[in-house]
């Protein structure tokens, strides 16, 4: 156990350290502090139970994933057909790739100030 004073929050903190660290914020009441420490210890048991339940859930998900992996893909034939069609369309789209690039090198025609000036002079 490590006791420290948090100067920012002006609190005493008791850290219970093992593989992990669990912190209890202490107050001025002795019996209240014992209750806080007990709550931290009880919280560790709950965290262990939650971790074990999470582990069991992950194991079930892993088994389900393995089972799904062994199953054949129901729409394999449709996927192959659509992939073939996609490849054909990509080939058709790329056939005119070189011809489709148009570069506009001529500037757009705009009225120049000279013309406007000449029109005013008349």
Residue 41 has what pLDDT? 87
Is the residue at 53 inside a domain?
Answer: yes
**Burial state string for 34-71 with b = 16 or more CB within 10 A and e = fewer than 16:** eebbeebeeeeeeeeeeeeeeeeeeeeeeeeeeeeeee
Tens of each residue's pLDDT in the chain, 122 residues: 888 888 898 888 988 887 778 888 888 888 988 999 888 888 888 888 999 999 999 999 999 999 998 888 889 999 999 999 999 999 988 876 665 455 555 556 655 555 555 556 55
Domain-embedded: residue 14: yes
Q: pLDDT of 84-116, one tens digit each?
A: 999 999 998 887 666 545 555 555 665 555 555
**The domain containing residue 86 runs over which residues?**
2-90
pLDDT of residue 66: 93
Q: Is 66 part of a structural domain of the chain?
A: yes
Total number of domains constituting the chain:
1
Is residue 121 domain-resident?
A: no
In a domain, 10, yes or no: yes
> Quick check: is 8 in a domain?
yes
Distance CA 39, CA 27 (A): 14
In a domain, 113, yes or no: no
Q: Is residue 99 part of a domain?
A: no
């Amino acid at each position: 156990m490590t006791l420290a004073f948090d100067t920012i929050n002006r609190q005493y903190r008791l850290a219970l350290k093992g593989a992990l660290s669990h912190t209890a914020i202490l107050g001025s009441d002795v019996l209240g502090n014992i209750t806080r420490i007990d709550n931290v210890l009880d919280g560790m048991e709950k965290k262990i139970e939650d971790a074990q339940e999470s582990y069991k859930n992950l194991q079930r998900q892993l088994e389900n994933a393995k089972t799904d992996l062994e199953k054949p893909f129901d729409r394999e034939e449709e996927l192959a057909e659509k992939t073939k069609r996609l490849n054909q369309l990509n080939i058709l789209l790329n056939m005119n790739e070189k011809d489709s690039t148009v570069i506009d090198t001529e500037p757009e025609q705009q009225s120049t100030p000279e013309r406007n000036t000449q029109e005013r002079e008349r």
